[in-house]
């Protein structure tokens, strides 16, 4: 008698059999590469806490986008590092802002690549918060409604520059609806919205704040980002964003929130993205440099796991390396 466990092992015996019975397929087309864009020319400044990642001047971001597209990666998401910051984050929505210029240049040089732009104020404000800050009895609070106007203005400015997808990440209530209305009113009905719908107040963001030079100068972001313990809260956030017009919803971070990715995938029929964030990237890099992990095998296992959980697209700093390994 052949026991079921034996039959299962038979299907794992050779490389060919394992390939034939594989259930989850990870491809280069699933990946989105984040780029940090700064002022200057011919600048590639390595980010100390994110080995292999750089702050890039616009000309270098174009070169990077060209290389990524040649490797089969279909999209980039852009984060700006302005030369100057102020309390209202004016660099986020300036017509000649760093991201607006980068969008136009990449669209011209790599017209087939999908260009996504982060919509938030934290990279552009002198205080490092994701919206307009006002005084309160507790010291300070983010003014949700005032922030919505600036986020909508930012999205429209990016659409004018030629962006395909805007990605609101500020976690302001009503941001998707405000941005959708502003885009439609400005004649950009075809511009997609990828909403950071379930964005948790996570400890995994540390290296990103180094990269984007955007740590809060006071307080934290826990009053508007989600509590890591909450599930139902995430599902409500996603539902509201879908109702407001999000074309794609996102879960961020990814690795510690695979249960949320799975639940969102099961409940909603819109595309689901996840963000394999900076801390998740850096801890793999650090362990690999120590010889404690095989970097290639670990990265591909993580990315496959995120795809298996239900992600249709994965924003990841491993994109370039993964593309070379998957080719």
Phi, psi (deg, nearest 5) at residue 250? -130, 145
User: Is the residue at 8 inside a domain?
Assistant: no
Q: Tokens at residue 158, please?
A: 């990016």
Catalytic residue status for 45: no
What pTM did the predictor assign?
0.93
How many angstroms separate the CA atoms of 245 and 51, rounded? Answer: 37
Residue 263 lies in domain = 24-326
How many angstroms separate the CA atoms of 57 and 189, rounded? Answer: 30
Considering its fold, how many domains does the chain have in total?
A: 1
- Residue 218: its pLDDT value, please? 65
Question: How far, in Å, are 147, 176, 247, 300 from residue 244 at the CA level?
Answer: 17, 6, 10, 34
* Contact yes or no for 264/250 (Cβ under 8 A): no
Phi, psi (deg, nearest 5) at residue 170? -75, -15
User: Is the residue at 184 inside a domain?
Assistant: yes
User: Is the residue at 4 inside a domain?
Assistant: no
Catalytic residue status for 252: yes
User: Is the residue at 310 inside a domain?
Assistant: yes
CATH code: domain of residue 309: 3.20.20.70
- Residue 34: its pLDDT value, please? 98
How many angstroms separate the CA atoms of 323 and 186, rounded? Answer: 37
Mean pLDDT by 10 residues, the chain (327 residues): 67 88 94 96 94 96 98 97 89 95 98 97 85 76 91 98 96 95 98 97 87 68 85 97 98 98 97 97 97 98 98 98 96
- Residue 103: its pLDDT value, please? 98
- Residue 182: its pLDDT value, please? 98
Among residues 85, 105, 153, 199, the one annotated as catalytic is: 199
User: Is the residue at 18 inside a domain?
Assistant: no
- Residue 133: its pLDDT value, please? 82
* Contact yes or no for 279/204 (Cβ under 8 A): yes
Among residues 85, 105, 153, 252, the one annotated as catalytic is: 252
Phi, psi (deg, nearest 5) at residue 109? -80, -35
Phi, psi (deg, nearest 5) at residue 56? -120, 135
């Amino acid at each position: 008698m052949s026991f079921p466990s034996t039959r299962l092992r038979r299907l794992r015996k050779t490389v060919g059999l394992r390939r034939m019975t594989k259930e989850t397929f990870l491809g280069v087309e699933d990946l989105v590469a984040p780029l940090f864009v700064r002022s200057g020319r011919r600048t590639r400044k390595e980010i100390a806490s994110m080995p292999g990642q750089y702050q890039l001047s616009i000309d270098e971001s174009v070169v990077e986008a060209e290389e990524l597209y040649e490797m089969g990666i279909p999209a980039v998401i852009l984060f700006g590092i302005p030369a100057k910051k102020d309390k209202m984050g004016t660099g986020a929505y300036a017509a000649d802002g760093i991201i607006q210029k980068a969008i136009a240049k990449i669209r011209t040089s790599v017209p087939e690549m999908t260009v996504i732009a982060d919509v938030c104020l934290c990279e552009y404000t002198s205080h490092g918060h994701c919206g307009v800050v006002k005084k309160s009895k507790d010291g300070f609070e983010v003014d949700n409604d005032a922030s919505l106007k600036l986020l909508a203005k930012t999205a429209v400015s990016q659409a004018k520059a030629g962006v395909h997808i805007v990605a609101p990440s500020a976690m302001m209530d009503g941001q998707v609806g405000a941005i959708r209305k502003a885009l439609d009113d400005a004649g950009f009905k075809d511009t997609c919205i990828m909403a950071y719908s379930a964005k948790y107040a996570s400890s995994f963001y540390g290296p990103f704040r180094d990269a984007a030079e955007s740590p809060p100068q006071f307080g934290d972001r826990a009053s508007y980002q989600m509590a890591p313990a909450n599930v139902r809260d995430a599902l409500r956030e996603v539902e509201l964003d879908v109702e407001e017009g999000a074309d794609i919803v996102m879960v961020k971070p990814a690795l510690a929130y695979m249960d949320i990715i799975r639940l969102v995938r099961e409940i909603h029929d819109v595309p689901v993205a996840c963000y394999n964030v900076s801390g998740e990237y850096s801890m793999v890099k650090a362990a690999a440099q120590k010889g404690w992990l095989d970097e290639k095998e670990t990265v591909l296992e993580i990315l496959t796991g995120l795809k298996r959980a239900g992600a249709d697209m994965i924003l990841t700093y491993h994109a370039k390396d993964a593309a070379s390994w998957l080719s």
